[in-house]
Amino acid sequence: MLPFDSEENYCLACALNEMIPALSAPQRRRWWGNMETAKRHLLYSLLSLQLPVQSRSEHAQGLAFAFLEDKRMNPAVAEDYVATGYRQGLITVNLAEADELSREMTRVQMNEPYRTLLGHFRHESGHYYFERLIRDDKHLVVFRQLFGDESLDYASALANYYENQRSLNSAYTDPSSPFISCYAQAHPLEDWAECWAHYLHMTDTTETAAQFGIIDADIDRSDFSSWSSHWERVTVALNALNRSMGLRDAYPFVLSDAVLTKIHFVHRVIDPR
């Protein structure tokens, strides 16, 4: 929606789209709707945190989205495989991730306890804001102390991760692990993006929990220690509720001291007060 006197053709969310799915089939309309719901959820968090959200058409360092298909979902397209990822301001999400069955099959195949469409958007936005907020900035020295050298060869690191992935799955349940997830071990930039996504999980979910009276409504997010303690209470409640319904844990993560230190760094980058 736009203000009646706006000269723009699209709202902020739609203005960020560079490629949407072909909408000839009703199923693709539903998938695109799932994409837009998750994207708007992301944008709400980014705007609430007063982070810069601009399109590539209006800013050289702007943000854009492309929702693409490959032959696995649509034999009529040229691409054999489309990877969800980020490059130079563009977040690409494979349309298959918007299909619940396809995404769940991938989650099981990859042996992941958590895989959501919103999680993809939050993770990939972390790569974008690394470039906007950290690269060549005063934060880079501390980043390298916590996460490692971001200049390490990315392709080689990912190839090594996927080759050894099955042996890394303890990251989710090891209380001494310095990584929030298995994928965070792939490369320092992926570790950052996973922690960035987790910070957005925490911000949005604690706000929702406060609105429903699960935690104090006047919680001060600037006090990271107190805020993270409230987060622990929320996650215990989340998992207990799911178990009562016979569902798997909604929150399959363990936050070690090292991981909390990394997430605190994300907090300081976003809110340096």
* pLDDT tens column, 199-223: 999 999 999 999 999 888 888 888 8
Cα dist from 19 to 77, 130, 257, 270, whole Å: 14, 23, 41, 29
User: Quick one: pLDDT at residue 25?
Assistant: 81
Of 198, 183, 209, nearest to 265 by C-alpha is 198
CA distance 252 to 91: 26
3-state secondary structure 170-198: HHHCCCCCCCCCCHHHCCHHHHHHHHHHH
pTM of the model: 0.94
User: Quick one: pLDDT at residue 17?
Assistant: 96
Cα-Cα end-to-end distance for the chain = 33
pLDDT, averaged across the chain: 92
CA distance 195 to 260: 9
Count of residues making up the chain: 273
* Beta carbons within 10 angstroms of residue 75's beta carbon: 8
User: Quick one: pLDDT at residue 173?
Assistant: 67
* Regions in the chain scoring below 70 on pLDDT: 166-173, 273
User: Quick one: pLDDT at residue 3?
Assistant: 85
Residues 6+ apart with CB under 8 A from 200: 42, 45, 122, 125
Which secondary-structure segment (H or E) carries 67? strand 64-68
